[in-house]
Structure 1
Amino acid sequence: MEQQEEENGKCNICYCVCCKKIFPQRILLQIMLVFCTTIMYSHRVCISMAIVHMTNWVDNSTIEVVCTRSKVNTSVKFEINDIQFDWDESIQSYILLSFYIGYVIGNTFIGFLIDKFGGRWCLFIGSLMSSVMTLIVPLLAYNMHWAVLCVSRAIAGLGQTPLTACTSSLISRWFLEDKKSGAVTVVLTTYTLGVIIGNVASGFIMEWTKTWCFVFYFFGTIGVIWNVIFFFYGYSYPQVHPHITQKELKLLEVIPKPAEMKIPLWRILSDVSVWMFFIGFMGSDFTLYLIITNMPKYFVSVLGLDTSLTGAVLMGPPVAGVLGGIVFGFTSNWIIKKKYMKKLTFRMICSVIGLPISSACLLVMVYTRCHVVMACVLVCLSMF
């Protein structure tokens, strides 16, 4: 059938979508992973923007430190037509925190599941969980206790656990050795796009529709659509893909199959370098997730910006993070190439210096009071 289509020069819609004529299947997989990363991170941040308008609770004990609109010179706050809930700051914190409880729990066993069932199914099921849990947030908020909403957010976090691991697994099976690192980098750095779209789109959707519900309907629906596409065109291995050409399959046959081995769990847990990596990674992720989770609420509730402007302002930190990675990446390569410093020494210095500086920027930001520009600069520096 394939040969007949090629001989006749035909290219119907399904044939082109399968990308036999347009893209190699490995490139199509990479594109789908880019969209998946973008969508998953938008699921993380959209509730941080929406929760400001989901609640009508005001802490009178701290109202004197909240900036008024006249101080920051922003537009008049728009009215939300949806029901708002009497959730105090503690309840709001539990709702935002619960996502990461599921995320941490899932990371303890996701690697075993990927090895057993393959990256395709783990990513499909995980992203579907995240999409559905995002889609039903309004339903749970209206009809259930807030604790049920916390559980749903924890399930969404559990569903997003496979993202990084599945990306690495799928790329390792679909890309040649000299292309793997670049392919993984392209996919995982698009979290920046997800954070930007999640913040900006959430603000404009709420301002345009005058309802917070459509934020979750919008991002949840996009996630479900992605799952449908990935179900038909995403595969764990080139050998089982029904649409791959013989030419591409022959090219990818040189990729060695992963060897089955017993995981030395005790040796891993008792290795000091593993724990040092864990501590460093935890510090880096803590800053990132603190910013993408709490900054929308801080800029709206404390600094007094309207939601759409907050979404635009919060484009800065993730972009600064990417620029910082590029600058320090080229700098480190130059220093190591010139042999001014050993690779391990330079990386240790960057980790030791970078995290305290990032934390100091966030700490100083608290004392900027109503100075919006200074707060924006400091939060961007903390990500840089």
Structure 2
Amino acid sequence: MSLQEEKRPLLPTADTGDGGSLTNLHSEQEGAQRKAPKVPGIPKRYILTFLGFLGFVNVYALRVNLSVALVEMVTLNETKVENATSECPGPNNTDVPDVYRKGEFDWSPSLQGIILGSFFYGYVTTQIPGGWIAENFGGKKLFGFGVLCTSALTLLTPVAARLHVGVLILIRILEGIGEGVTFPAMHAMFGKWAPVWERSRLVSITYAGAQMGTVVSLPISGILCDSHIFGGWPAVFYIFGAVGCLWFVVWMFMVADTPAKHSTISTEERDFIEQSIGSKPQRERTPWLGIFTSMPFWAIFIAHFCNNWGFYTLLTCLPTYLSEVLHFNIKENGLLSALPYFCCWVTMNVTGFVVDYLREHRYLSTVHARKLATSLGFLFPGGFLVAAGYSGCNATLDVAFLTLALGLSGIYMSGFIVNHLDIAPKFSGTLMGLTNCFGTLPGFLGPILAGYLTDKQQTSAQWQKVFYISCGIYVFGTVFYLAFASGDIQKWAQPKSVTIEVNNDGSDVNNKSIQNGRSVTPLPEILTGPD
């Protein structure tokens, strides 16, 4: 029996003018792969998802706890509040009194802004390297050590602050460097673990940990600061840092980079995942030219920036708005600040399941599902932010609008965030690194602009300007994403050819099925692509 080799494209392609996307193919084989097999115990991909969720709870708790602790750390005196607004009355409709609070440090508001913003200087530097490293060497250790690094440095925060403010700023920069790899690393892992029809819900559950971390951190940090545990504010850093270190131990023992490397995964689950998403050769060259000339990539890129502008503006400025304009104390501030993030967490999880259901049952194609989720996740918060600016001193209405703004923004998670995995699952870590790197810029720019507009003018009129700008950016992101987003794998993200050995009579040597004289192997859904 003589053999001959035939090289042919793995899939037929159709140029759509948006950077080249694959034609979606569906078959009975694909349909059979949608139903997950029953496996003994908890499926390993769900364990990965849950531990990833807890990882992001830690990550965001460590990120935002300083914003609450600073209130107790820093001295606030009459000079600093003499220009405070009395537009809105204080609690029980009383005038806002002069405030004096003795803190351990006498740092100016501008220096406090530098301390809070220093985290992002480190965070932005490891986004792109983190995605590349995770794709080529595995995301398990990268994600785990990223969280461990941030946790260990958080434990040193009280010591650093008492040594010198410069040491504290350095610690925050290093924390940002460690945390910067987390999103790209997890995205790269989902590129190897998340079956096509489970992408939205698995990604949403895990990344919703960011919102839950904020929910947990804001009120608990306020309570700890007001307590005598470890001297008050230092307890914030000791407790959250220690929890992060404990999480690292569990993560390293229970997670693997790929299904094939997991020591206790069932054969049924491993086969199901690999048939759904395929496998990627290690250290495959990243198609930089294809990425940067792809309009679907730029649609995600712009959407990520626009979303983060609104999110970071609320993340860093909401406590200030509630405190300076509506005059809530630290405990009330922490609880009310956390409420919108809790609603966002609920929205993310519910939307993930809904979107996957609509895609799996073909009520919506993938691209339409992503566009719908992104549009709703942008336009709802933009509209409610504007409404919040006109609620005046009605604290109940103000909090309701801000809660709806941030709560409904969680719909976006099943939109452009998951879209990286749709257009280039093999390079999803790199794409996330690129878009999140650019998306980090609002972490600098949003609070700076808000601070400039409200400096010595903590009034509803000035905050209306902040909210209008965020709304305009949300609208621009929506229009751009609707115009250029795609739900198909791009040409540059799929293998160009495959070598198949065939007999002289045209049959495959491995006895695969034959169609029109050619060997046909059922393809994973990652290559055929969902609608």
TM-score range, shorter chain: 0.7 to 0.9
Correspondence for 1:289 among 293, 296, 312: 312
The letter of the residue matching 1:283 is C
In the alignment, which residue of structure 1 is the partner of 2:111?
A: 91
1:148 and 2:167 aligned: yes
Correspondence for 2:232 among 211, 217, 224: 211
1:227 and 2:248 aligned: yes
Q: Deviations over 1:211-255 (max 9, x none)?
A: 11101111111001111222333322344445x16xx14641562
**Matching of residues 53-132 of structure 1 within 5 Å:** 53-58=72-77, 59-60=80-81, 62-65=83-86, 69-71=90-92, 83-132=103-152
Question: Matched residues in 2 for 1:172 and 1:108: separation?
Answer: 16
Tell me the CA shift for residue 308 of structure 1: 2.0
**Matching of residues 243-258 of structure 1 within 5 Å:** 244=264, 248-249=266-267, 251-253=269-271, 255=274, 256-258=278-280
Task: Give the match's secondary structure for 2:256.
Answer: coil
Question: Matched residues in 2 for 1:269 and 1:331: separation?
Answer: 28
The letter of the residue matching 2:292 is L
Query: What TM-score results when the alignment is normalised by the length of structure 1?
Result: 0.78
| Regions of 4+ moved over 6 Å | 78-81, 331-335
Task: Give the match's secondary structure for 1:63.
Answer: coil
Tell me the CA shift for residue 89 of structure 1: 1.7
In the alignment, which residue of structure 2 is the partner of 1:157?
A: 176
Asked if structure 1 preserves the Cα contact closer than 8 Å seen for 2:197 and 2:356, the reply is no
The letter of the residue matching 1:94 is I
Question: Matched residues in 2 for 1:60 and 1:316: separation?
Answer: 27
Task: Give the match's secondary structure for 1:48.
Answer: helix
Asked if structure 2 preserves the Cα contact closer than 8 Å seen for 1:80 and 1:212, the reply is no
Task: Give the match's secondary structure for 1:64.
Answer: coil
Correspondence for 1:310 among 325, 333, 336: 333
Asked if structure 2 preserves the Cα contact closer than 8 Å seen for 1:102 and 1:154, the reply is yes
Task: Give the match's secondary structure for 1:299.
Answer: helix
**Matching of residues 1-384 of structure 1 within 5 Å:** 23-58=42-77, 59-60=80-81, 62-65=83-86, 69-71=90-92, 83-145=103-165, 147-209=166-228, 211-242=232-263, 244=264, 248-249=266-267, 251-253=269-271, 255=274, 256-260=278-282, 261-322=284-345, 324=347, 326=350, 355=378, 358-359=381-382, 361-362=384-385, 365=388, 368=391, 370-383=393-406, 384=408
Asked if structure 2 preserves the Cα contact closer than 8 Å seen for 1:203 and 1:308, the reply is yes
Query: What TM-score results when the alignment is normalised by the length of structure 2?
Result: 0.58
Q: Deviations over 1:196-223 (max 9, x none)?
A: 1011211222223371110111111100
In the alignment, which residue of structure 2 is the partner of 1:10?
A: none
Question: Matched residues in 1 for 2:333 and 2:173: separation?
Answer: 26
Question: Matched residues in 2 for 1:352 and 1:128: separation?
Answer: 35
Unaligned ranges ≥5, structure 1: 1-19
Tell me the CA shift for residue 176 of structure 1: 4.3
Tell me the CA shift for residue 24 of structure 1: 4.7
Q: Do the aligned partners of residues 372 and 342 (structure 1) sit closer, same or farther apart at CA in structure 2, a change above 3 Å counting?
A: same
Asked if structure 2 preserves the Cα contact closer than 8 Å seen for 1:37 and 1:187, the reply is yes
In the alignment, which residue of structure 2 is the partner of 1:17?
A: none
Asked if structure 2 preserves the Cα contact closer than 8 Å seen for 1:238 and 1:249, the reply is no
Question: Matched residues in 1 for 2:370 and 2:110: separation?
Answer: 38
Q: Do the aligned partners of residues 43 and 181 (structure 1) sit closer, same or farther apart at CA in structure 2, a change above 3 Å counting?
A: same
Count of residue pairs brought into register by the alignment: 357
Question: Matched residues in 1 for 2:370 and 2:42: separation?
Answer: 37
Question: Matched residues in 2 for 1:259 and 1:184: separation?
Answer: 23
Tell me the CA shift for residue 299 of structure 1: 2.3
Question: Matched residues in 1 for 2:358 and 2:189: separation?
Answer: 31
Asked if structure 1 preserves the Cα contact closer than 8 Å seen for 2:91 and 2:328, the reply is no
Asked if structure 2 preserves the Cα contact closer than 8 Å seen for 1:65 and 1:369, the reply is no
Tell me the CA shift for residue 285 of structure 1: 1.5
Q: Do the aligned partners of residues 29 and 344 (structure 1) sit closer, same or farther apart at CA in structure 2, a change above 3 Å counting?
A: closer
Tell me the CA shift for residue 193 of structure 1: 1.4
In the alignment, which residue of structure 1 is the partner of 2:7?
A: none
The letter of the residue matching 1:49 is V
Question: Matched residues in 2 for 1:57 and 1:373: separation?
Answer: 27
The Cα RMSD (Å) is: 3.7
Asked if structure 2 preserves the Cα contact closer than 8 Å seen for 1:133 and 1:152, the reply is yes
Question: Matched residues in 2 for 1:258 and 1:23: separation?
Answer: 25
Task: Give the match's secondary structure for 1:235.
Answer: coil
Asked if structure 1 preserves the Cα contact closer than 8 Å seen for 2:200 and 2:356, the reply is no
The letter of the residue matching 1:188 is Y
Question: Matched residues in 2 for 1:343 and 1:241: separation?
Answer: 30
Tell me the CA shift for residue 31 of structure 1: 2.6
| Identical pairs, percent | 21
Query: Which of 1 and 2 has greater Rg?
Result: 2
In the alignment, which residue of structure 1 is the partner of 2:421?
A: none
The letter of the residue matching 1:38 is V
Q: Do the aligned partners of residues 25 and 155 (structure 1) sit closer, same or farther apart at CA in structure 2, a change above 3 Å counting?
A: same
Asked if structure 1 preserves the Cα contact closer than 8 Å seen for 2:118 and 2:169, the reply is yes
Question: Matched residues in 1 for 2:308 and 2:192: separation?
Answer: 27
Q: Do the aligned partners of residues 124 and 298 (structure 1) sit closer, same or farther apart at CA in structure 2, a change above 3 Å counting?
A: same
The letter of the residue matching 1:92 is Q
Question: Matched residues in 2 for 1:124 and 1:342: separation?
Answer: 35
Asked if structure 1 preserves the Cα contact closer than 8 Å seen for 2:199 and 2:356, the reply is no
Question: Matched residues in 1 for 2:201 and 2:356: separation?
Answer: 17
